[in-house]
């Protein structure tokens, strides 16, 4: 490693870690390697987040200008409010995007922290600039295509921005705040907000536009879920079986997945004596679920199986090994 890069890393880590002083006045090779590794990880993560946010901004802008804006269709949330105000007034959309989301940025600062608020503010400003400056063609005037694909590109843009650690629609920040204040779910708050928005759209624009806008919202929300959760839905499976060793070997050998063994004790016993047992836990994709159930049934049809959905995973072998069929 060159001395120039080493000096940069040392200065950066001292600056952002409270002026850290090394015991000998100069870092050892181990300390330098450790700081270098942390620097590389942070740089890669920030670069990835930046790329995701930029792609998200362009995708959402294309959804706005290529589909929704020229046809007066709206979406839910803060973007829907911006589109609705743009449709009934002469105020440019890029101005409304900043104005409508500004309160949510301050709210995000309160409940999510300064770093999140700064990234969100920059993302929203970037979206407004992209809408104002970058020319996008009007793709189609077919109402159904506008509703579906406008929602698709808008939802993809919002989802990519979220994957990058920012939001370009502040509604979820408000939903988090209100859910904490009134002890309700975030989903219920978002539904209530969107009911109000679409009701105003039906009154101020037309019922037909409001109905098409609901299609836009559904397309956007489904695309958003797809972007955030991915194509592979992970499932955590807990298996209690008297043939735990055979089940464990089957998962490792046939499915190529890892397992975790918990030591447990049966709670129900006719003779009053609880027996010791091994509880198997593994994570698979939904594509492998059918095969897992089939193989377990071959070993022990009466095995007790509990399944629960997992949003995402990190580490382990499930993302490293291919599916086995």
- Residues 257, 289: Cα–Cα separation, whole Å: 12
Q: What per-residue confidence (pLDDT) applies to 1?
A: 46
Q: Helix (H) and strand (E) counts for the chain?
A: 11, 4
Residue 149 CB neighbours (<10 A): 20
Burial of 268 (0-12, 13-18, 19+ CB in 10 A): exposed
Distance CA 93, CA 91 (A): 6
Domain with CATH 3.30.70.120 in the chain: 234-310
Percent of the chain with pLDDT over 70: 83
Q: What is the CATH number of domain 234-310?
A: 3.30.70.120
**What whole-number distance in Å separates Cα of residue 220 and Cα of residue 217?**
5
Q: What is the mean pLDDT of residues 171-179?
A: 80
Model confidence at 19, pLDDT cuts 50, 70, 90, reads very low
Q: Is 306 strand, coil or helix?
A: strand
* Both structure tokens of 115: 């770093």
**Local confidence band at 273 (pLDDT 50, 70, 90 cut-offs):** low
Q: What is the DSSP-derived secondary structure letter of residue 65?
A: I
pLDDT at residue 24 greater than cutoff 60 = no
Q: How far is CA 228 from the centre of its chain?
A: 3
- How far CA 190 is from CA of 10, 167, 168, 173, in Å, comes to 45, 15, 15, 10
Phi, psi dihedrals of residue 68, rounded to the nearest 5°: -75, -45
Question: Can you read off the two tokens belonging to residue 158?
Answer: 């919002």
Whole-number average pLDDT of the chain = 82
- Residue 141's pLDDT band (boundaries 50, 70, 90)? confident
DSSP output for 216-264: HHHHHHHHHHHHHH-SS-EEEEEEE-TTHHHHHHHIIIII----EEEEE
Predicted confidence at residue 317, as pLDDT, reads 59
DSSP state letter for 168: S
Residue whose structure tokens are 């080493």: 6
Strand positions, DSSP E, the chain: 234-240, 260-265, 276-285, 304-310
Between the CA atoms of 309, 311, 315 and 320, what dihedral angle is there, to the nearest 10 degrees? 80
Give the least confident one: 18-27, 233-242, 292-301. Answer: 18-27
Which DSSP category does 325 fall into? Answer: -
Phi, psi of 219 (to 5 degrees): -60, -40
Residue 283, number of CB atoms within 10 A of its CB: 18
94-118 tens-digit pLDDT: 999 999 999 999 988 888 888 888 9
Convert the pLDDT of each residue in 204-250 to its tens digit: 989 998 999 899 989 988 898 888 776 556 889 999 988 889 999 99
- Around 157, how many Cα atoms within 13 Å sit in the side-chain half-sphere? 24
Task: Please provide residue 276's backbone torsions phi and psi, each rounded to the nearest 5 degrees.
Answer: -75, 145
Residue 57 token pair: 């901004």
């Amino acid at each position: 490693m060159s001395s120039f890069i080493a000096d940069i890393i040392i200065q950066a880590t001292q600056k952002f870690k409270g002026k850290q002083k090394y015991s000998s006045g100069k870092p050892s090779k181990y300390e330098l390697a450790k700081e270098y590794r942390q620097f590389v990880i942070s740089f890669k993560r920030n670069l990835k987040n930046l790329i995701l946010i930029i792609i998200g901004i362009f995708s959402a802008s294309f959804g706005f200008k290529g589909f929704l804006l020229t046809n007066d269709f709206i979406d839910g949330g803060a973007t829907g409010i911006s589109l609705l105000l743009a449709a009934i007034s002469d105020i440019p959309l890029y101005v409304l995007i900043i104005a409508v989301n500004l309160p949510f940025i301050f709210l995000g600062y309160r409940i999510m922290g300064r770093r999140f608020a700064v990234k969100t503010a920059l993302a929203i400003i970037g979206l407004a600039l992209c809408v104002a400056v970058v020319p996008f063609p009007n793709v189609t005037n077919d109402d159904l295509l506008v509703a579906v694909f406008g929602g698709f590109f808008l939802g993809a843009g919002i989802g990519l921005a979220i994957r990058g650690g920012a939001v370009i629609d502040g509604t979820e920040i408000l939903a988090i705040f209100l859910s904490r204040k009134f002890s309700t779910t975030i989903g219920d708050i978002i539904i209530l907000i969107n009911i109000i928005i679409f009701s105003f759209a039906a009154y101020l624009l037309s019922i037909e536009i409001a109905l098409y806008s609901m299609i836009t919202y559904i397309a956007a929300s489904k695309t958003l879920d797809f972007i955030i959760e991915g194509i592979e839905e992970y499932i955590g499976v807990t298996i209690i079986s008297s043939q735990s060793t055979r089940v464990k070997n089957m998962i490792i050998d046939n499915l190529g997945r890892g397992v975790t063994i918990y030591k447990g004790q049966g709670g129900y016993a006719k003779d009053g004596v609880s027996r010791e047992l091994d509880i198997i836990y593994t994570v698979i994709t939904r594509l492998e679920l059918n095969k897992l159930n089939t193989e377990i049934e071959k070993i022990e049809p009466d095995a007790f199986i509990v399944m629960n959905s997992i949003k995402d995973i990190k580490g382990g072998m499930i993302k490293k090994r291919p599916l086995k069929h």
